[in-house]
Amino acid sequence: MNQQDLIMEYFKKNPCREIKHPEIVDWVVAEYKKRTGEVFRDPDRAIRKLHQEGKLIKIKKGVYKYDPGYVENRELEDFTPEQKEAIFKRDGYKCVVCGRGLADGVEIQADHIKPKDLGGKAEIENGQTLCAQHNFQKKNLKQTETGKKMFIRLYDLAKKEGNKELAKFCTQILEVYEKNHINDHIEWEK
């Protein structure tokens, strides 16, 4: 009996309903005990993990929702292991921002250049290799330096795709960087 499967069983029985922590915890703890005779340790952690894996949507602290449509879309937009390998190989198994990689014992991850929420697809062309640290920065810290590099890469991709609207958007942002002399050491070739 897999604990995560048991949690998902409950959410799948209640699709698209916002479920509070105590409700799901009470159910899985009792159900797990009934089916296995064992104690379900740390169900909170298991729920958080399902959220991190994209299987549950977090509404707010302690409230989660399962939406079958969302999960399907998300899976379509994720890179397959084969695509990841192709992206890593093309980038020489190195982070495109700092150049560190497997040879330096640094963990690498496949990142969407155009983010999924802007319609970025799971295509090798839209993938780039980032070290765990820069992937984390891009996702969480949004430092100006990382941001500028990301917009340069998005601009290059938009130009290559002939996506004028997106290229224009990137140009406007990068011009703000230039005007304010933010991160001048990172060069943007128009």
The 44-83 site mask, x for binding Zn ion (CB under 5 A), equals ----------------------------------------
102 binds Zn ion (CB under 5 A): no
To Zn ion, the closest distance from the beta carbon of 111 in angstroms equals 10
Strands of the sheet containing 63-65, edge to edge, are: 19-20, 63-65, 57-60
CB 147 within 8 A of CB 106: no
The secondary element (H helix, E strand) that includes residue 111 is strand 108-112
Site for Zn ion in 169-188 (CB under 5 A): none
Rounded distance between C-alpha atoms, residue 189 and residue 174, angstroms: 10
Contact 122, 74 (CB under 8 A): no
35-39: long-range contacts (C-beta < 8 A, 24 or more apart)?
35/1, 35/6, 36/1
Considering only 56-64, 76-84, 124-132, 159-167, which stretch makes contact with Zn ion by CB under 5 A? 124-132
List of residues 6+ apart from 144 with CB closer than 8 A: 177, 182, 183
Give 40 or 79: the residue with its C-beta nearer to Zn ion: 79
- Closest CB to Zn ion among 87 and 97? 97
- Rounded distance between C-alpha atoms, residue 158 and residue 114, angstroms: 9
Contact region with Zn ion (CB under 5 A), list: 77-85, 94-102, 112-120, 143-151:
94-102
Among 6, 131, 154, 157, binds Zn ion (CB under 5 A): 131
Out of 97, 108, 113, 158, the only residue in the binding site for Zn ion (CB under 5 A) is: 97
* CA-based nearest residue to 82, from 50, 122, 113, 112: 122
Does position 94 bind Zn ion by CB under 5 A?
no
Token pair of 88 as six digits? 């890593």
Say whether residue 98 binds Zn ion (CB under 5 A): yes
Query: Contact with Zn ion (CB under 5 A): which of 28, 95, 108, 110?
Result: 95
Interface residues with Zn ion (CB under 5 A) are: 95, 97-98, 131, 134
